[in-house]
Amino acid sequence: MIGVTAAVRIQRSDRLTADEVAEVLDLVRVAGDSDGAYPLSEHVVLHLSFGGDIRAVHLLIRHGDQLVGYAHVDTTDPVEGPAAELAIHPLHRRRGLGRALVTEAMAVADERAGQSPGRLRLWAHGDHPSATALSMSLGFERSRVLWQMRRSLFAPIPEPTLPDGMSIRAFRPGTDDADWIALNAAAFADHPEQGRWTINDLHIRMKEPWFDPSGFLLAQRDSDGELLGFHWTKIHGAAPGSAQHAHEPIGEVYVLGVSPAAHGTGLGTALTLAGLRHLRGQDLDQAMLYVDESNTSAVALYRKLGFAHWATDVCFRRQV
């Protein structure tokens, strides 16, 4: 299907071919290298790369045979509503392509809702002023701010002190899968995305080249083996032949979670330190993490552990 928005021809598709996926990932890499922030979130890139049951509308703009604009509109969340992310080639900006893609994404949201205006969330990775100006001019408002924080791994990392009766071990693929999903759901019961992960979401990430169970740390109660917390670390840019990262490898506090039963015990701090020491043992210079700006307790914990604000992602919500 071809849509025309503001004289820009936009191709709509419910499914991309393998060649189109490769084009999108190449566009994302070029835009990310130019901006210092990748324009698509991890879960979108994973679903593009591996498929899955995500229901999405893909919007593509070409200049001749070259893909110069792309938007991904995820229509699967009945609670929060559709979400869109987009990328524009650096050499084809300031030509109205971003506005055309957002306008077409709004049309998709209207169609899904059966009314106008339909709900729509728009993610801007990097919090560039141009993204804010575009979003607000189209009736969106800032609704969620996600910080990237970083710290040096050369700085001292204290030995973790675990609560009595607990120990830390590595994740065991095929054995811990279901128990970890249950723990993750409990730890992130109020989180709009993380708490709804399924076994399939876990397995998709376990197939990624960066997955390393030795860096997926689980805290258990020694008396019965119940999982009470975890620190899943990740290394960016370490996979041979990786085309997604144009920088030296960097460690990440990928997901850190603590069961409500262990809140207030200091387990979160201990797991964070254990993961940072693991990353330092991989000869890495820096570690990074993402945290909601509004999660003041987590921000305070990470600042105490040596992290500082590095970059910002913003979710804009369409006013309806």
**Residue ranges of the domains in the chain?**
2-147, 155-284
Structure token pair of residue 42: 């991890």
Residue 70 DSSP class? E
pLDDT at position 202 is 94
Residue pLDDT, tens place only, 203-259: 989 988 889 999 999 999 999 999 999 999 999 865 444 444 445 789 999 999 999
Scored b (16 or more CB within 10 A) or e, 96-108 reads ebbebbbbbbbbb
Residue pLDDT, tens place only, 297-309: 889 989 999 999 9
Q: Please state the pTM of the whole predicted model.
A: 0.75
Instruction: Enumerate helices (H) and strands (E) in the chain, giving the number of each.
Output: 8, 13
Give whichever of 3-17, 45-59, 210-224 has the largest mean pLDDT.
210-224
Rounded (10°) angle between helices 199-206 and 177-187: 110
Structure token pair of residue 39: 């324009």
What distance in Å separates the CA atoms of residue 154 and residue 272, rounded to the nearest whole number? 16
pLDDT at position 244 is 44
Give the percent of the chain with pLDDT over 90.
74
Multiple choice CATH, 155-284, 1.20.1250.20, 3.40.630.30, 3.90.870.10, 3.40.50.970: 3.40.630.30
Give whichever of 17-26, 35-44, 191-200 has the largest mean pLDDT.
17-26
What distance in Å separates the CA atoms of residue 271 and residue 251, rounded to the nearest whole number? 15
pLDDT classification of 116: cutoffs 50, 70, 90? confident
Multiple choice CATH, 2-147, 3.40.630.30, 3.30.300.20, 1.20.58.220, 3.30.1330.60: 3.40.630.30
Kindly tell me if the per-residue pLDDT of 289 is higher than 90. yes
Lowest mean pLDDT among 25-34, 45-54, 101-110, 198-207: 45-54
pLDDT at position 155 is 95
pLDDT at position 278 is 97
Long-range pairs of 204-209 with CB within 8 A, sequence gap ≥ 24: 204/46, 204/50, 204/52, 205/46, 206/173, 207/50, 208/46, 209/239, 209/240, 209/242
Give whichever of 7-11, 32-36, 216-220 has the largest mean pLDDT.
216-220
2-147 shares its CATH topology with 155-284: yes
Give the mean pLDDT of the chain: 90
